[in-house]
Structure 1
């Protein structure tokens, strides 16, 4: 191939090739009879073809990496569809742990409790909490760290 061509993974379904030679942009392709053609195109059209190729590559990578490649049989689908229910012991244990956590949080100082809840249960960042409370990010971080240490001590003790 002549000229500078963008580095791409070869795809048998791509009917054209783009390249640049001596500051000019070209697209080459074969017509229905298998005759090769080379046309000069504008920079804008070259960039558009290039963007299309990149988008196609992104899609092909998604298919290769994230879409399941193995065969899926009916029994496999049924196994995945049915969520295994937790045993009664697991349900009771989780409920007791949740109650214990709520008791530990309720014993925290008000400011630590509020910041811990905002961070872990409402998914706010330190910066968002600091802006909301009009204080420094470091103060929020220190407060939440202190709350976590208090909770750790509570769980070690109980």
Structure 2
């Protein structure tokens, strides 16, 4: 991607009917330097500015088209973006769910998150916590019941 910062500035000055051409730039120590240049060099800098500008515009025009692959078009068609209302509703629901999970006891919260967020089975959680499968299943079921009640 093209960097919009211009490393130099150009200016002209008319003194006694004679046009002088200047190029200003920052040197390696970040000190602004300005030097007088002959007209052909100044015109070459101007040409370069136009080429840069055209390149930037071309890049901006083609950036969207470069992202239109078959896969992205398929994804757009099969998974249209959510509306603002849907996004806001989902955000509110997620906030309610976070609050409901926070209301659970430490054990229920941990087991609920391991089961639903991390996709672990009851057996895997029981092995991690050195308890029975039934204890984990009962704890997750109780957590789900509390969350359902809080959502109503």
TM-score (normalised: structure 1): 0.48
Match of residue 119 from structure 1: 115
In 2, distance between residues paired with 1:153 and 1:102? 14
**TM-superposed deviation, 1:78:** 7.8
Match of residue 108 from structure 1: 104
**TM-superposed deviation, 1:84:** 1.4
Give the direction of change, closer, same or farther, for the CA distance of 1:117–1:78 in structure 2 (3 Å limit).
Answer: closer
Q: Does 1:97 align with 2:93?
A: yes
Q: 2:74 aligns with which of 77, 80, 84?
A: 80
The correspondence of residues 43-82 of structure 1 with structure 2, limited to 5 A, is 80-82=74-76
Note the residue ranges of structure 1 that are not aligned, 5 or more in a row. 1-75
In 2, distance between residues paired with 1:143 and 1:123? 16
The correspondence of residues 22-41 of structure 1 with structure 2, limited to 5 A, is none
1:135 match: secondary structure: coil
Say how many residue pairs are matched.
81
Which runs of 4 or more aligned residues in structure 1 lie more than 2 Å from their structure 2 counterparts after TM superposition? 76-81
Give the direction of change, closer, same or farther, for the CA distance of 1:112–1:80 in structure 2 (3 Å limit).
Answer: same
Q: Which has the higher contact order (CA 8 A, sep 6+)?
A: 2
Q: RMSD of aligned C-alpha atoms?
A: 1.7
In 2, distance between residues paired with 1:148 and 1:85? 30
TM-score (normalised: structure 2): 0.50
**TM-superposed deviation, 1:81:** 3.7
Q: Does 1:140 align with 2:139?
A: no
Higher CA-based Rg = 2
Give the direction of change, closer, same or farther, for the CA distance of 1:81–1:110 in structure 2 (3 Å limit).
Answer: closer
Give the direction of change, closer, same or farther, for the CA distance of 1:113–1:77 in structure 2 (3 Å limit).
Answer: closer
Note the residue ranges of structure 2 that are not aligned, 5 or more in a row. 1-69
